[in-house]
Structure 1
Amino acid sequence: MTPLSVYVLTYNSERYLDKVLAAAKRVADDLLVVDSGSTDATLSIAARHGARIVHRPFDNFRTQRQFANGLCLHETVMFFDSDEIASDALIDEVLALKARGFDHEAYAVRRDWVVMGKVIHALMPISSPDYPIRIYRRATLRFTDHSVHETLTGYENCGRIESPVVHRTFETASEMKTKLDLYTDLAATDLLDRRDPARVLWLKSWFSPLGAFLKWYIRKGNVRDGRIGLTLALYASSYTRRKYRKALVQLNANR
Structure 2
Amino acid sequence: MTTTLITGGNRGLGHEIARRLIEAGHSVWIGARNRAGGQEAAARLGAHFLPLDVTDDASVDAAAATLRDQVGHLDILINNAGILGEVAAPEDMTADQLRVVYETNVFGLVRVTHAFLPLLRNGNNPSVINVTSGMGSFTLTQDPARVESQYTLAAYGSSKSAVTMLTTQYAKTIPDIRFNAVDPGQTATEFTGHVGQSIEEGAETAVRIATLGAATPTGTVTDRVGVLPW
* TM-score bracket for the superposition, by shorter chain length: 0.3 to 0.5
Write 1 or 2 for the structure with the bigger share of strand. 1
TM-score (norm 1): 0.35
